[in-house]
Structures are given as C-alpha cells and as structure tokens.
Chains A and B, each alone.
Chain A
Amino acid sequence: MADDRVMIHVDQLTKVYGANPKPAVDRISFDVHAGEVLGFVGPNGAGKTTTMKILVSFLAPTSGRATVGGFDVYEQSLEARRKIGYLPEDTPLYRDMTVLEYLQFVARVREIPPARFRARVKDVAERCAIGQRLGSLIGELSKGYRQRVGLAQALLHDPEVLILDEPTSGLDPNQIVEIRNIIKEFGKTKTVIFSTHILPEVQITCSRVIVISDGRIVGDASPTELGRILENERGMELVVEFAGGDAAVSAARDGLEKVSGVVSIKPFTDPGEEQRPGRFLVGTAVGKDVREEIFRAAAGANAKLVEVSRHAPLEDVFRHMTRAPQDRAGA
C-alpha cells in the first residue's frame, strides 16, 4: 500500500530541445509515493519519454527540478541513479553477451559485491523467469525474453524505484500478462512509473494514472476516477443490443429515442468485429441513468434485450483529455 514517503518529486519540470520554441515537457509537477504504481499515458510525443529520461539523469531539465529518493536528479545524479532501475523503450541490450554475462556486467558497474551477486541473480531470475536461459546469447532470445532480461537488469540491485518506458509494447498477450505481473508484484512495496499506450493495462496494473498531452499533465487520478471524470462531463455511454427481428429492433430503437435523458443513438460495432444490426451506442445526459428505461423500451417493442453495458471509457477519457483545449470547448 502507499505510504507517506515521497519517492519521486517533480516540480515545475520543463524541457526544451535545442532551438525548438515549444517545450517537450512544460512545467509538470507530481509526487509519487512508495508503493504506488503510476501509469503514464498520452499520445506519442506527449513528453512521457522525455520526463523519464530526465528522471534517470540521461537528460537535464531546462528548468524546474526532480528528485528521486530525495536526491536531485541533476545535482546528485549518481545517488539518484543508485535508487533507480530503468528500462528504456525497445529494451536496448548488448546482444553479443549472454544473459548471465550481462547481469554480471551490470552488477560490476553497480558495484554489487560478488558475494551478494549470486543471491541477487537467483532472485531476479526467479521473478522474471529467465533461469533457463542464463547461458543464452541475448541476441538470440525472443522479444519477450529480452524484455524479461531488461527487467531483470533493472531489478538486479533491488532498487526502490522502477522506471519503465513502454515495457509491454511489441509483446504478445501472454508475455504482456507476465510483465504486468512482475510490475504488480514489485509495486506492492516499491515505486513504479511506467508508460504505455494500452489503456486497459493501466486499469489492471496501476493504482494511479497521469495523462500527459503536449507536454502538460491533463489528468491525474486513479483509473476508476478517470472514467468518472468523463461521465461527469459528458454523461454515460452505453452499448445496447436488441434482438428479435428487424421490426422489433427498429421499434425498440424508436422507443429508446423517446426516453428523456437519451441524447444520441448510433449504430455500434466492436473494433474488429462484424456489424450487427441491433447493436447501438447510446449517449445519455449527465447524471441520468436510463438503463431501466432501455429495458422498458425493449419490452414495449417486443424485442429482446441482449446487452446493456457501459462503453469501455478509458479510450474516450484519453481522447477527451488529450484533445487540444479549443476542440474541447466546442465539444
């Protein structure tokens, strides 16, 4: 569970690249406590990676400051780096080394005493399930395995903070679940920041989500709260499916249109599935729950109600929050 210790403190952090007038990261501030798993979501180029690179001292902030474990990432960068395990995007590893050689190298640079090294390798090999492949060349491993080696490398010195840039991108669903479990397990006691494009992922893994867009934080809440934010602004969206023949379906639809609180009815198709005629996306007014009326409309039209469900809101939240402010004003 989260305790009071602030592990990462970011204050008015700004990064401007070269002569580019628009900052890649623009005065962002947030704190992360021990025991929090923070998901960093946002479109490409929003500033997620830049923020992470500053936290691991690879880049310096143009202004503002950040501390990790109480150490300033610019002024006390070595101390800060000792607290962090880091895995950059695309898992760059030395492909000409075996897994064990690589871990040995990281241990030497991190000055882990040889006596402790064995126990640490055993621990990370177990957690990341790489024990079978310690002797394999990294270049010959599958992407999923490489990712786990990257995580093992980041966990080797038992860091207090784990920073992962898109740790699940390019993996198959089984591999994603494995990586997610490692993150969750670690996040029980330590601090994790990871970035992702996959929104359901933050719902499953994170205790908190920061939505970043155009270098600014546009949302900072728990995954459930984020869903609610949208409903409060825009009302609920329901997926409704009627069955029982064309006549019954269109009658039910007409009945639905008359319900007060229903603001829109659109045909709805799940991504990747075929269009089904009785399936609609129903928008409702803010604060109105029309699920009972939907049931009545179906009964009145002699149609069967096959489904009423809340439309997976996170993608919408994301799109809603990351739109430019002027678009949002018009919506």
Chain B
Amino acid sequence: MRNSLAIARREFGAYFNSPIAYIFIVVFLLISGYMFFTEITTGTPQADMRPLFGLSPLIFCIFGPLVTMGLFSEEKATGTLEMLLALPVTDWQVVVGKFTAAVGLIATTLAITLPYAFFVAGYGHLDWGPVIGGYLGLLLMASGYLAVGLMTSVWTKNQVIAAVVGFLFCFALFLFGKLLQLVPPWLAPTVQALSFDYHFQSIARGVIDVRDLLYYASLIGVCLIVAQTSLESRRWR
C-alpha cells in the first residue's frame, strides 16, 4: 500500500512536470466553460449541471487514453520500468499506484469545475443530489476510461499506439449506448448494460444504483487485472 502511494505520488508529480496535465486541464475547462457560457447566454438558463455532464463522456473518452498513454509505454521505452520493477514492489502495486495517479489528475480537474455548480445555483434552486451524483458518475466513468488506457499502455512501448488502441476501446464502449436503435431488440438490453453512457446517465440523475457502481468497478477491475497479467507475462516460464 505504502509503495503504491509512493508510485502514485511520483506519477502525479510527473503529470505536472510535463505539459500533459496542463493541456488536459485547460482543454477540459475551455470546453466545459464554453458549454456553460452558451447555455447561459442563449438558452433559458437552468439551475443544473447538464452542460458539464452532457459532453464529458466524449471528452473523457478522448482524453483518458492521452492521460494514461505514457504510464507504462514511456517507462518501457526509456528502460526505467526495469529499474522500477527491480524495487521490492509487486506488479499489482505498480499498476494500482499508476492508476491512482491518473484518477487523481481527473479528480483534480473535476474539482476545478466545482465553482460552476455554485454559479449555476444562482439561477434558481439547484438540486445537489444530481450534482453530487453527476460528479461521482463522471469520476467513475473517467476511471473506467483510464483503466482501459492504462491496460493498453502496458502492451506497447510506443505511446502513440497505446493512445490510439486505448481510444478505440474507449470509443467502442462509448458507442455501445448510441447503437441501441441498430441492434435487434433481443440484444438491446445486453448492449445497453455494456454501455458507458447508460450507467453514467443513471448515476448523473442522482440515483446511485449498485448495478451502476458494479459495472464501473468490474470494468476497472478487469482492465487492471489484465494490465497486471500483461506486465507479469515477462516472468512466465
């Protein structure tokens, strides 16, 4: 646990030593800020967080793999991974540590958007249930994308490949929800159950359902275990 935290701390620091964290935060704030701005100036302003929660799934789908692409690929390319894994840490502790750092970056970014909520509250009664649910949902969903991206980062020492493959996986998960009309009715519930969006929307309504939490938890779990197994494959005999 302590070693995972040490790794998470280093990774988190590394984000802010490189342009990645700043680019991600600035782009995210620009897009979400713009959405709020147009909502307030053109439409009838409503006291809710829809502008943020509406577009975020797509933003995270694109940026998640960019945040995670370097986690393992870069260390593989530069050779530092060998140094790291020769320390007395298990592969699982390394995976968890790096994942925690990526989630920390997203959580930090989301925290910066909190003032929007207070601002919007000025336009009328803001129902805080969906706001809290929305933030929780966003964090869970983003973590899901990050776990996918981390997994693809273990597979290659090329960061671009890690990002592109990660994005393909994330986009597939994102699309599942949009494909509902195209699949035969008997398949629809399955597709819906696999969709990122579906589970997110249900949490974002302020309803915290165990099934939604389980969905994200199991997706994250599966990806991290696959990542650990891939990392460990160097020691298979």
Q: Which residues of A contact B (CB under 8 A)?
A: 53, 56-63, 74, 78-79, 81-82, 84, 86, 88-90, 92-97, 101, 105-106, 108-111, 153
Contacts and interface: CB of A to CB of B under 8 A. Distances in A.
Interface string B140-174: 00000000000000000000000000000000000
A262 B82 CA distance: 52
Given A59-B234, A60-B236, A106 B79 contact: no
Contact of A60 (B9, B78, B79, B235): B235
Contacts of A153: 83
Contacts of A106: 87
A102 to B, nearest CB: 9
7 contacts: A59-B234, A79-B88, A81-B87, A88-B83, A88-B86, A108-B9, A110-B88
Contacts, number: 76
Contact of A58 (B18, B234, B237): B234
Contact of A59 (B78, B87, B235): B235
B85 interface: yes
Contacts of A89: 79
**9 residue pairs, one from A and one from B, having the closest CB atoms:** A92-B79, A108-B6, A60-B235, A96-B17, A56-B86, A81-B88, A92-B80, A86-B86, A109-B6
B6 A58 contact: no
Contacts of B87: 81, 106, 109-110
Nearest to A107: B6
Interface residues of B, number: 26
B2 to A, nearest CB: 6
Interface in B60-91: 78-80, 82-83, 85-90
Given A105-B6, A108-B9, A93 B86 contact: no
Nearest to A90: B79
Interface in B1-52: 2-3, 5-7, 9-10, 13-14, 17-18
Contacts of B13: 97, 101
- Residue of B13, B80, B88 most packed against chain A (CB within 10 A): B88
A93 B18 contact: no
Nearest to A111: B2
Given A88-B79, A92-B78, A109-B7, A62 B237 contact: yes
A22 B87 CA distance: 30
A109 B82 contact: no
Given A57-B85, A78-B90, A111-B3, 10 more contacts: A58-B235, A84-B86, A88-B83, A95-B78, A96-B18, A101-B13, A105-B9, A105-B10, A111-B2, A153-B83
Nearest to A61: B237
A131 B32 CA distance: 47
Nearest to B14: A96
Contacts of B83: 86, 88, 92-93, 153
